[in-house]
Amino acid sequence: MIRVGDLVKYIPSPSATFKWERYTDAYKALPGVILREVKAKGTTTRRFEIRWHDGQLSEEWISFLEPFDNSLT
């Protein structure tokens, strides 16, 4: 269960790996910390505001996030 305050990593969509598609957003500075859950009308999929290690902010769907395991770094 991912929640506010957790460290996360971004997992890009498999379609982003197609050689014909340039997908620069797939490279996030790990880890990111969840600042808040974004409430959106008309959807039941959870979305979060993330502050990445380089200071950038982004909103990401939960399906593109995984808990960050800092034991591997």
Instruction: Answer whether residue 58 shows pLDDT above 80.
Output: yes
Domain membership flag for residue 2: no
**pLDDT, mean of residues 15-22:** 56
Token pair of 31 as six digits: 């880890």
Domain membership flag for residue 22: yes
Contact 26, 16 (CB under 8 A): yes
Is 28 strand, coil or helix?
A: coil
Instruction: Give me the pLDDT at residue 72, please.
Output: 58
CB atoms within 10 A of CB 24: 6
Domain containing 55 equals 7-72
Total domains in the chain come to 1
Instruction: Give me the pLDDT at residue 8, please.
Output: 96
